[in-house]
Amino acid sequence: MKTLKKQLTDGIQRALESLSYPGKDFSLAPPNNPDFGNISSNIALLLANDLKTSPLEIANAIANELQSAVLDHIESITVTPPGFINFFIRNSFFQSSIKSIRKAGNSYGRGIVGRGKTANVEFVSANPTGPLTVGHGRNAVLGDSIANILEWNSYEVTREYYYNDAGRQMHILGQSVEARYFELCGRKSNFPEEGYQGEYIREIARQILDRRGTELGSGSHYFKDDAEKEIFSEIKNSLKRLGIHFDHFSNEKTFYENGAIDQFIMELKKKDLIYEKDGATWFRATALGKEKDRVYIKTSGEPTYRVPDTAYHRDKLERKFDLIVDIFGADHADSYPDVLLALQAMGLDTSPIKVLLYQFVTLMRDGQKVKMSTRKANFVTLDELKNDLGADVVRYFFIMRSMNTHLDFDLDLAADQSDKNPVFYLQYAHARICNIIKHGKEKGIKETSSFQDGQLTHEDELNLIRHMVHFPELIETTHDTLEPQNIANYLQELAARFHRFYGQCRVITENKELSKARLGLVSAVKIILGNGLSILGITAPERM
RNA sequence: GCCCCGGUAGCUCAGAUGGAUAGAGCAUCUGCCUUCUAAGCAGAAUGUCACAGGUUCGAGUCCUGUCCGGGGUACCA
């Protein structure tokens, strides 16, 4: 399809030249209405103004030029008001694509824009203060799918998790565990005002008690360190259950220890972008066009999160990735620009960094919004969600809609309606195909690469193929948008066309040749479904 | 006040770079399983695409303003 489009683009450009029309950036897209062919172009409409001629006239002139050119796979060219040029593609083009899809197999659709390039996708990045919640789930699934999309475009991808292990949150975590430990020991305890109240804190304290006895003193580093270790290992398990793994972990402590933070603050100081006021250290963002200066080091002596984050992003830039993707919740919307600003002030090129913000997930339970807070232990964990709904459903729910919109996750509904979940619609198509292939085998009709693709002439067959051939372009566009729901939408449409075909056309029949051709067709659909689902991280079952 | 995201069918949401009659699922109604999986298919019904201007041959899509909802605007991350 891509080469065909390229051919048409070139053809139109040549026509423009020979007619001495000016060049224009025109579109070449499939129209909704089949009466307008398989691809149509708006070129004439775009030229009308410049040429002061009616678009229909221009369209006819271009179409005339094209008629005399040699264009492969084009059956006919028409012009329709207000001035579209429509191309009708021969069935043979679509029919023959089946064999190329089958030949490419599980690499059908792979793009090459990222060939030889590296990408870093940072996601989840939850601090190890408690179990992952639903909000982290959206982040995790988005990030993993986006990493997959980049891999499908030939990038070498590093999946990275960054966490703060030196800040206030971790300090409070340690204090919370300590208090619970003292309680268990029957010693006097003092639970911090903003401590983490979850039951998991008690369990960690109990483990520490078992492992290290009752004699730990106040302020022992074990409270924080053991808790961090334990919680982190739980986080990794939760992610694993959703099929998510990481290649690299970074933490803020590193940047304190290796001097990176002192280093960059020094650099900014030299540029007069750091100053002291009210006992705090400030970043002079206003000098760089921002509205407010930002605190870098609090009066307490602790740096704000911006500081290690900036060092961390500098580190990522210095690792020379061609593309750096950050997946952040909407609450970061106001903070990452400061990080970028500081990096630019240091003379770094931040253009490889692409920040993706997703809106919050609102959980609905019993028709009520569930307010969540890790600290108050009032949350639904990702594990609970996964256990109730299964990994496939959880993943699909998080990517089926745009990250720009709030996600209302109705827990009761999701559980009740799990039969009717759209993810099953896709998986069912895949399972159906597997069953057809199996059935064919039993009837002695094997799936083979030699079949007469010209047998595939039914309207529902062609309609299915017409959608199939767009898959490679989809992978490419999704590389630009980085919106996994584009893939989910595409697959829904593919499954719909398959199910319709299934209702209209019987695959295994007495007609051997037709059966073989249709087996070829459905196996190609299976390939695309499988490839698409794997990008979304969802299984493609053989049976349901 | 300022910044970000959203406002599309009764509900939840899709609408690839502006394109030719605005889509799906759920919910409602009508058909279809002695035939490869009915977790499916076919059909019916449902809309001032928040509102008002503007740009354009053409706007759900781009620009401006207004209204509504969510989030941010910390010496919390």
Q: For residue A170, give the nucleotide whose C1' atom is nearest its CA.
A: B77
- pLDDT, one tens digit per residue, over A324-357 is 999 998 888 878 888 999 999 999 999 999 999 8
Q: For residue A37, give the nucleotide whose C1' atom is nearest its CA.
A: B20
The pLDDT confidence band at residue A233, using thresholds 50, 70 and 90, is very high
DSSP H helix total and E strand total for chain A = 20, 15
- Domain-ending residue, one of A89, A110, A139: A89
- Domain-ending residue, one of A89, A124, A146: A89
For residue A376, what pLDDT is reported? 59
- What's the Å distance between residue A240 CA and nucleotide B51 C1'? 48
Is the pLDDT assigned to residue A284 strictly greater than 70?
Answer: yes
- What's the Å distance between residue A150 CA and nucleotide B32 C1'? 43
Q: Can you tell me which residue has its alpha carbon closest to the C1' of nucleotide B40?
A: A499
- In which domain, by residue range, is A29 found? 2-89
The pLDDT confidence band at residue A374, using thresholds 50, 70 and 90, is low
**Looking at residues A379-386, what average pLDDT do you find?**
85
The pLDDT confidence band at residue A6, using thresholds 50, 70 and 90, is confident
- What's the Å distance between residue A67 CA and nucleotide B53 C1'? 44
Q: For residue A55, give the nucleotide whose C1' atom is nearest its CA.
A: B57
Would you say residue A516 lies in a domain?
A: yes
Residues in chain A, overall count:
544
Q: Can you tell me which residue has its alpha carbon closest to the C1' of nucleotide B35?
A: A506
Q: For residue A46, give the nucleotide whose C1' atom is nearest its CA.
A: B57
What mean pLDDT is reported for chain A? 89
At A485, which CATH number?
A: 1.10.730.10
**How far is the CA of A220 from the CAs of A65, A230, A353, in angstroms?**
83, 16, 39
**How far is the CA of A375 from the CAs of A82, A169, A208, A305, in angstroms?**
61, 10, 21, 18
Burial-class residue A451 by CB neighbours within 10 Å (0-12, 13-18, 19+). Answer: buried
Q: Can you tell me which residue has its alpha carbon closest to the C1' of nucleotide B17?
A: A27
- Number of domains composing chain A: 2
Would you say residue A521 lies in a domain?
A: yes
The pLDDT confidence band at residue A211, using thresholds 50, 70 and 90, is very high
Peptide bond into A192 cis (omega under 30): no
Would you say residue A158 lies in a domain?
A: no
Would you say residue A352 lies in a domain?
A: no
Q: For residue A32, give the nucleotide whose C1' atom is nearest its CA.
A: B20
- What's the Å distance between residue A258 CA and nucleotide B62 C1'? 48
Dihedral over Cα of A72, A75, A80, A86: its sign: negative
For residue A192, what pLDDT is reported? 87
Would you say residue A219 lies in a domain?
A: no
For residue A417, what pLDDT is reported? 62
**Chain B nucleotides covered by protein, CB below 7 Å:** 2-7, 12-21, 23-27, 35-42, 56-58, 69-77
At A18, which CATH number?
A: 3.30.1360.70
- What's the Å distance between residue A95 CA and nucleotide B19 C1'? 28
- What's the Å distance between residue A427 CA and nucleotide B33 C1'? 21
Neighbour tally for A380: CB within 10 Å: 20
**Looking at residues A538-543, what average pLDDT do you find?**
94
Is the pLDDT assigned to residue A501 strictly greater than 90?
Answer: yes
Q: For residue A31, give the nucleotide whose C1' atom is nearest its CA.
A: B20
- Domain-ending residue, one of A45, A67, A89: A89
Q: Can you tell me which residue has its alpha carbon closest to the C1' of nucleotide B37?
A: A432
- What's the Å distance between residue A363 CA and nucleotide B34 C1'? 47
Higher pLDDT among residues A508 and A360, named by residue: A508
Higher pLDDT among residues A370 and A134, named by residue: A134
Is the pLDDT assigned to residue A148 strictly greater than 80?
Answer: yes
- pLDDT, one tens digit per residue, over A169-206 is 888 899 999 999 999 988 888 888 888 888 899 999 99
**How far is the CA of A516 from the CAs of A22, A77, A444, A529, in angstroms?**
49, 33, 11, 20
What whole-number distance in Å separates Cα of residue A1 and Cα of residue A3?
5
For residue A378, what pLDDT is reported? 62
Residue A490's identity, in one-letter code, is Y
- What's the Å distance between residue A415 CA and nucleotide B26 C1'? 14
Is the pLDDT assigned to residue A159 strictly greater than 80?
Answer: yes
- pLDDT, one tens digit per residue, over A111-123 is 999 999 999 999 9
Would you say residue A505 lies in a domain?
A: yes
For residue A244, what pLDDT is reported? 96
- What's the Å distance between residue A352 CA and nucleotide B18 C1'? 28
Would you say residue A77 lies in a domain?
A: yes
Spatial CB neighbours of A240, under 8 Å, sequence gap ≥ 6: none
CA nearest neighbour of A509 among A521, A519, A500, A495:
A519
What whole-number distance in Å separates Cα of residue A493 and Cα of residue A1?
18
User: Which alpha helices (H) appear in A346-484, and where do they start and end?
Assistant: 382-389, 391-399, 411-416, 422-442, 459-468, 471-481
Higher pLDDT among residues A274 and A422, named by residue: A274
Q: For residue A417, give the nucleotide whose C1' atom is nearest its CA.
A: B26
Q: What pairs with residue A162 in β-bridges? A: A250
**CA A310 to chain CA centroid, nearest Å:** 24
Higher pLDDT among residues A262 and A377, named by residue: A262
For residue A197, what pLDDT is reported? 84
Q: For residue A474, give the nucleotide whose C1' atom is nearest its CA.
A: B16
Is the pLDDT assigned to residue A440 strictly greater than 90?
Answer: yes
- What's the Å distance between residue A282 CA and nucleotide B1 C1'? 24
